[in-house]
Structure formats: structure tokens, C-alpha cells
Amino acid sequence: MATNKKPGKWRPRTIAVRGGQMRTAFQETAEALFLTSGYAYENAEEAEARFKGQAEGYQYSRFGNPTVTMFEQRMAALEGAPVARATASGMAAVTATFLSALRVGDHVVAAKAMFGACRYVIEEVLPRFGISHTLVDGEDIDQWQSAMKPQTKMLFLETPANPTLAIVDLKAVAKIAERGGARMVVDNAFATPALQRPFEFGAHIVVHSSTKYIDGQGRALGGVILCREDFLKEHLQIFLRNTGPSLSPFNAWVHLKSLETLDLRMREHCGNAAKVADFLAKERNVTRVLYPFRPDHPQHNLARAQMEGGGGVVTFEVEGGKKAAFGLANALKLIDVSNNLGDTKSLITHPATTTHQRLSPDARAALGVSDGMMRLSVGLEDPLDLCEDLTQALKAA
């Protein structure tokens, strides 16, 4: 297989279309889908050499697959990361990052505003292996600093965070990690490399749920871990090979092709979300709107310093708590009630009773997740239709 021309000087939009492509002897223009579990060797000697790592080549799709490799290479180039490994889902990426490197006695510091399942892994799974944690307010840099211990090996955060869209100062937290000899892990699912590249701010590892904006059309699950060579060699590679959270070549192909329109889609998601956020802010029974690029977002300046767009998610509060929030959701005629996000279709969820229902009322209050809060993933429909749908539903609520 021939590798594509040198991507060294390409700009991000070119990388998104052509990065990591490998062509077979047929010189196909679109990336090939290699639906194969195994690979044949010329002879027994070649099999031996590949297993010993003395010869290049694929062995088994749990270890690697050409379509998956193309997706990994394109993701690495877009994030500005040395290497990438794809996984079956975003949660497989997060879990493998922790379990491949951490051991009994280690400690993790994490921002408490995070995706519900990530919080489960940190609070319920890691302690079973003797790995402790401290949860902090991600926006408060002093809390990160004072949570550090000699045993701290990883700092984990999401920015913008789900569902409050709180922003964490990547540079400041990376410095704390660096000083403590720990790695900063950033979940970049909400922003995508089209809007935010955490490696530029000092991140050591970036994880993704490519299920969200990278797929962008609500079709296939996937995840990615991006890291430096040392982490791959010392921890990740052997763990992934032997535990098997591998991405299916078919899903890799779907996400690889989706990357070609990521930049276009993210610009439209941001434009639509900004319009919907401004519209909601003027509605009488909407008490609060959270959108990173609106001047009334508490960390508006930081968001603009780290991100190239405010993203596609808008969070808002309706007057009247859970009853009003449910009334709004049930009256929507265009926007779907769904906990997924990053789809071309606009999706809305009530975090207090869905994504964050596992948390106690106190833990929800600490995150600012109120009973009237709705998280809206703004899709690519005409924003006027979305605003009309919201207007009639707010009236009905």
C-alpha cells in the first residue's frame, strides 16, 4: 500500500480530507474499507518476523487494520498529536487510558463536571483497583493545585463540560500536571479538533467519543486516544492488543469519511447554536442561557482564547423546574428528545433525569445542574425552524 503525499505542511482543512490516506494498487480515490479479521503471511518465517516485531505488516485486526490506521492517522494529524489509537466507543477510550497506565496506589484528579459514564469509571471502577481520586471544580485552578499528591498520575477534564459548558483553563492545568509529574488527559468530544486542539495548550493525552461530532450523523459508535510515543510504547499499545476494545473497520471507515466534512459541519453547528442561544436569551420564561461564545458566559474570554467557535451545544434553564422542562420537551415537534449529541438532527435532553440522574441532588446542585435545565444539541436544520419549534413549545410549557 502506498501512503499519501507528505501531509507535513497541509492546513487543517486539507488534512481532514486527505490526511492518513493509503491507497492499494487499484489507486482508489475513496478510502478502502478492509473488512477482514486476519492477514495471510508469505510463509512461516514472515509470520514469525511480524510477531517478533522485526517485520512491518498487519497480523490481526484486534491489533490493527488498514482502514482503522487511516482513521487514526487522520485524527492524529488533525489534533497535532504524535500518535492515535481508535477504540470501539468513547468510553472504551477513557477506560483504556486509565487502566493501561494506572495501578494500585495511584491517584487521579478530575473536574467534577464530566460525562456521567466517565464519572462512574473514576468513582466506581478505579477504586476497585486501588486507584483513588479527588474531584475538583474544573474552573478553580487552586483546587487542582491543592488536590495534587505525590501519587497523582493523571488529571482528567472535559472542556466545554457536559452539560453546563463550563470551561477549564487548559494551559494552567497542564502546568500543574507537568510540575507534578502527571499527565493531563482532555476529553475533547464537545469541541472536536476543528474548534480546539488541547495539545497546543500542553495536554499529554486527548480522548474522543467519535460517536458525537466526528461521526456527526448519529450512525456509529467510536472512540480515539491521542498521545505521545512514550505513553503508547510504555502503556497503551500492549494493553489495547491484549484487552481488545478495538474499533470495527466499518465504523472506522464511516468516521474517516465523516472527518472530511467535520470543519464544514462544525462551522454550521456553531452558527446555528449561536443563533438559537441568542433567541433563547430573549424568551421570557428562559431564566438562563449558557453558550461559551456569548458575552454573558462566565468564562467567555477563556472560551475565546482556547476555542475557534462556541460549539454546537446550548444549555438553558426554563422557569418552573422539572414540570416546565418536561412540558417544553413534550411540546417540541421538530427537535427530538434524545440524550445523544453531535448529530445533524437537533436533540434535547433533561440532564437532571437522564445523563446526570445517577448523581445525588447535592452533587447535581454542586455542578449547577438544576431541575429546569435543558441541554440542546443544535443540529444542521434551518435555525429559523428550530427557533419556531422552541417558541411554540415554550408557550405550551
Ligand X SMILES: *Cc1c(COP(=O)(O)O)cnc(C)c1O
Beta bridge partners of 337: 348
C-alpha cell at 332: 417540541
Q: Which of residues 139-168 bind ligand X (CB under 6 A)?
A: 158, 162
**Cβ atoms of residues 342 and 212 within 8 Å:** yes
Binding mask 85-104 for ligand X (x = CB under 6 A): ----xxx-------------
DSSP string across 211-225: TTTTT-SS----EEE
| Beta-carbon contacts of residue 217 (< 8 Å; ≥ 6 apart) | 258, 343, 344
Among 112, 183, 204, 212, binds ligand X (CB under 6 A): 212
Helices 262-281 and 383-396: angle between axes, nearest 10 degrees: 40
> Segment contacting ligand X (CB under 6 A): 4-12, 15-23, 207-215, 313-321?
207-215
| Beta-carbon contacts of residue 131 (< 8 Å; ≥ 6 apart) | 98, 102, 103, 104, 105, 106, 107, 108
Counting contacts by CB under 6 A, is residue 286 touching ligand X? Answer: no
Pick between residue 74 and residue 255 the one whose CB is nearest to ligand X: 255
Cβ at position 341, least distance to ligand X in Å? 6
Cβ at position 77, least distance to ligand X in Å? 21
Counting contacts by CB under 6 A, is residue 247 touching ligand X? Answer: no
Nearest in space to 240 (alpha carbons), one of 68, 67, 46: 68
Pick between residue 119 and residue 183 the one whose CB is nearest to ligand X: 119
Q: How far apart are CA 212 and CA 53, in angstroms?
A: 35
> Segment contacting ligand X (CB under 6 A): 122-130, 187-195, 294-302, 329-337?
187-195
Residue nearest to ligand X (CB): 90
Binding mask 44-83 for ligand X (x = CB under 6 A): ----------------------------------------
- CB count within 10 Å of CB 277 equals 24
Amino acid at 187: D
**Cβ atoms of residues 84 and 226 within 8 Å:** yes
Cβ at position 355, least distance to ligand X in Å? 9
Query: How many residues in the shown chain lie near ligand X by CB under 6 A?
Result: 16
Counting contacts by CB under 6 A, is residue 206 touching ligand X? Answer: no
Counting contacts by CB under 6 A, is residue 180 touching ligand X? Answer: no
C-alpha cell at 227: 498521545
Counting contacts by CB under 6 A, is residue 343 touching ligand X? Answer: no
Pick between residue 187 and residue 389 the one whose CB is nearest to ligand X: 187
Counting contacts by CB under 6 A, is residue 221 touching ligand X? Answer: yes
b/e code 346-366 from CB counts within 10 Å (16+ = b):
bbbbbbbeebbeebeeeebee
Write out the residues near ligand X by the rule CB under 6 A.
Answer: 89-91, 115, 117-118, 158, 162, 187, 189-190, 209, 211-212, 221, 223
